[in-house]
Structure 1
Amino acid sequence: MRVSLKDVAERAGVSIKTVSNVVNKYPHVTPAMRERVQRAIDELGYQPNVTARHLRKGRTGIIALAVPELGNPYFAELAGAVIDAAADHDLTVLLDHTRGEREREVLVSQGFRARVIDGLILSPLELEVEDLRGRDGDDVPLVLLGERQYDLPYDHIAIDNVAAARVAVRHLIGRGRSTIAYLGGRTDSANRPAHLRMKGWREELTEAGIPAPDSLVGRVGGWDRQDGAEAMARMLDSGVRPDAVFAYNDLVAIGAMRVLHECGLRVPWDVAVIGFDDIAEGRFGAVTLTTISPDKQSIARLAVESLLRSLEGTESPGGHEIAAEFRLVERESTLGRR
């Protein structure tokens, strides 16, 4: 026989409303009362009927997360963090893979799944402002992740890429490096994170009085290990020999480190390397990777909470720029083996 809220209320000696407040995680319940009700829930083995709860609110209990590439460890780890954050609110996450293509990002943003989702978290690469104006799925709350800024009434969560890049380059300068390459140059829009990170690289070098010539910019066609390896090989083949590398992301850094090894250059003694994203792979190589670590859990939590505020009608009109934290994680690729 299914345990009901009434059963829990009778066991705890409280009202059904109090039990409901605890189950729904409402904040205005005293810790002592919450513990009392939770003890009764545990003793009786009560399981909330999540589906019925969502239906009473006119919702499905499903949100969507759309990212450019699930095969990229950063986005895979971010997706896991979003799923965990959503689970804290009894929400299920539907994953979508846009491949960073504008057409697919438009399709997702326009709410083609609006009938089955309560809200959308989207990390776009190619989406333009006009794609979001008057979107068909505007009744479905939207939260944007990443570095594209649209000046539209949607919450936008991102780290400060310029500041993060400057922290990375400052670390390399502090280790005595003076010929610092950037692997991640692109020719597309200046709003892309690659350009923001290159901007931070150039600003920090300029402030330190260190040259930042174009010959130290390694152009890439993508963001994977192979792209980093090819960019590093081209730079070395051209006769440019940096004593440090700041890579757009950890995958590019890992590819570059492989080429450096094949060329007989030791990391970090000959060339120090720092990446970006703090993916798990960087922690387990023969030389562990120093990196900029975005707070993925915070990004996920902020995104889910933003959707919930919109759904509950507590979000004020207009978009909000929400900054997530980051930190430098120092490892062997710049410090050497301790």
Structure 2
Amino acid sequence: MASLKDVANMAGVSLMTVSRVINHAEHVSPTTRERVQKAIEALNYVPDYSARKIRSQGAKTSTIAILALDTATTPFSVEMLLAIEQTARERSWNSFLINILSSEDAERAVRHLLAQRPDGIIFTTMGLRHVILPEALAGKQVVLANCVTDDETLPCYIPDDFAGQYQATQHLIAKGYRRPLCFWLPEMALASKPRRAGFIQAWQEAGLSLDEVQQYHMAMGDEHYTDLVTLLDRHCTEGAADFDVLVCGNDRIAFVAYQTLLARGISIPQQVAVLGYDNLVGVGELFLPPLTTVQLPHHEIGRQAALHLIEGRTHVGVQQLACPLLKRVSL
């Protein structure tokens, strides 16, 4: 990694001049400032702000940096961020958050983060997804939370979606349902395949035929949630449905399903049971009747990712965390 001295040598100025430019001090000519900035960019120099804190405050407190891709800009995954902060605080670590607002914004966010010289980095996303980490993070102490990457040497903490759906399907089978209609997440969504596979395995292990199951995948894009309305119109006639349980890819699908079924005079769960997935913050508790769903372990993902860094865990690869079934009224 380039040093302050390297920048000074390339720009042909003193260390003090480089420091003044970095700290936006006055009394530096525009020509000199431009020369120093070009040297900083050419050398990919990252100022060490943490060194200043050590000199001014004494002993350094260990710090976790959180890179949040959409995580902090939606209500759905914020519990994961709160768990990281809480766990760090419990162990007398500091934490700070930097948002990545777009793929083009990643370089700026990473440079800002690395300037603080954190002891470990947690990369989080809203919604389970595959990510390509910024090159500047190569070789750093990075843990992934709610996402995976091609680098098998990195630890990743994600939901066990297969087991979550498997357990939920066992529950609906035990309740006597035999004619499911499934509206899964888009096929390209990372969580979609294990959830559908969990359903199929539980269904077949019970000796039931998939011929009795009607399965569809939602198209990619939020605008396609309401496609379920048209689908349900085809399967509901004169206040009756040709299925006895609706298995929803997530709670947002279940929200559309509730409105559609109830508006057509179909009662839940007396005529049709509904199963969700995610237990979305601020949404899951508002269904009437209360929605049976599967809990995404966002809090535990955040906690385990933080503990991975704090405890100096050495295992790598994907670590799957349990998704418990929340039994309510709709199923």
Answer whether TM exceeds 0.5 for this pair: yes
> Does 2:232 correspond to 1:233?
no
Counterparts of 1:101-116 in structure 2, within 5 Å, are 103=103, 107=107, 113-116=113-116
Q: Is the 8 A contact 2:66 2:122 kept in 1?
A: yes
Q: Which residue of 1 aligns with 2:200?
A: 202
> Does 2:329 correspond to 1:332?
yes
How far the C-alpha of 1:122 sits from its partner, in A, is 2.2
Number of aligned positions between the proteins? 268
Q: Which residue of 2 aligns with 1:25?
A: none
Q: Which residue of 2 aligns with 1:84?
A: 86
1:237–1:218: structure 2 CA closer, same or farther, 3 Å change rule? farther
1:235–1:96: structure 2 CA closer, same or farther, 3 Å change rule? same
Paired amino acid for 1:203: Q
Under a length normalisation based on structure 2, what TM-score does the superposition of the two structures give? 0.68
Deviations 1:172-209 (A, max 9, x none): 112211122222342426xx112221221222223331
Q: Which residue of 2 aligns with 1:93?
A: 96
How far the C-alpha of 1:81 sits from its partner, in A, is 2.3
Q: Which residue of 1 aligns with 2:7?
A: none
Q: Is the 8 A contact 1:62 1:116 kept in 2?
A: no
1:202–1:143: structure 2 CA closer, same or farther, 3 Å change rule? same
Q: Is the 8 A contact 2:62 2:93 kept in 1?
A: no
Under a length normalisation based on structure 1, what TM-score does the superposition of the two structures give? 0.67
Q: Which residue of 2 aligns with 1:22?
A: none
Deviations 1:236-256 (A, max 9, x none): 233373221222222222222
Paired amino acid for 1:324: L
Instruction: Please list every run of 5 or more consecutive structure 2 residues that lacks an aligned counterpart in the other structure.
Output: 1-52, 237-241
How far the C-alpha of 1:326 sits from its partner, in A, is 2.5
How far the C-alpha of 1:78 sits from its partner, in A, is 2.2
Instruction: Please list every run of 5 or more consecutive structure 1 residues that lacks an aligned counterpart in the other structure.
Output: 1-50
Q: Which residue of 1 aligns with 2:259?
A: 258
Paired amino acid for 1:92: S
1:114–1:327: structure 2 CA closer, same or farther, 3 Å change rule? same
> Does 2:171 correspond to 1:174?
no
Counterparts of 1:153-168 in structure 2, within 5 Å, are 153-168=153-168
Cα separation, 2, equivalents of 1:234 and 1:243: 18
User: More displaced, 208-217 or 243-252?
Assistant: 208-217
Q: Is the 8 A contact 1:65 1:79 kept in 2?
A: no
Cα separation, 1, equivalents of 2:263 and 2:117: 49
Cα separation, 2, equivalents of 1:56 and 1:248: 52
Cα separation, 2, equivalents of 1:82 and 1:219: 32
1:234–1:278: structure 2 CA closer, same or farther, 3 Å change rule? same
Deviations 1:56-99 (A, max 9, x none): 5667735114143545433122222222223223423314255x
1:96–1:110: structure 2 CA closer, same or farther, 3 Å change rule? closer
Q: Which residue of 2 aligns with 1:44?
A: none
Deviations 1:96-127 (A, max 9, x none): 255xx6x3596489666321362332235554
Paired amino acid for 2:205: E
Cα separation, 2, equivalents of 1:97 and 1:136: 14
Q: Is the 8 A contact 1:82 1:304 kept in 2?
A: yes
Q: Is the 8 A contact 1:169 1:201 kept in 2?
A: yes
Paired amino acid for 1:265: I
1:227–1:270: structure 2 CA closer, same or farther, 3 Å change rule? farther
1:111–1:305: structure 2 CA closer, same or farther, 3 Å change rule? farther
Q: Which residue of 2 aligns with 1:64?
A: 66
Q: Is the 8 A contact 1:221 1:227 kept in 2?
A: yes
Cα separation, 2, equivalents of 1:299 and 1:252: 24
Q: Which residue of 1 aligns with 2:302?
A: 300
* 3-state SS of 2:136 partner: coil
Cα separation, 1, equivalents of 2:234 and 2:247: 18
CA RMSD of aligned residues (A): 3.3
Cα separation, 1, equivalents of 2:295 and 2:108: 28
Q: Is the 8 A contact 1:227 1:255 kept in 2?
A: no
1:237–1:71: structure 2 CA closer, same or farther, 3 Å change rule? farther
1:159–1:62: structure 2 CA closer, same or farther, 3 Å change rule? closer
Paired amino acid for 2:115: R
Q: Which residue of 2 aligns with 1:288?
A: 290
1:185–1:136: structure 2 CA closer, same or farther, 3 Å change rule? same
How far the C-alpha of 1:330 sits from its partner, in A, is 0.4
Paired amino acid for 1:249: N
Q: Which residue of 2 aligns with 1:123?
A: 124
Deviations 1:246-298 (A, max 9, x none): 22222222222111111211111121112122234212332111111233332
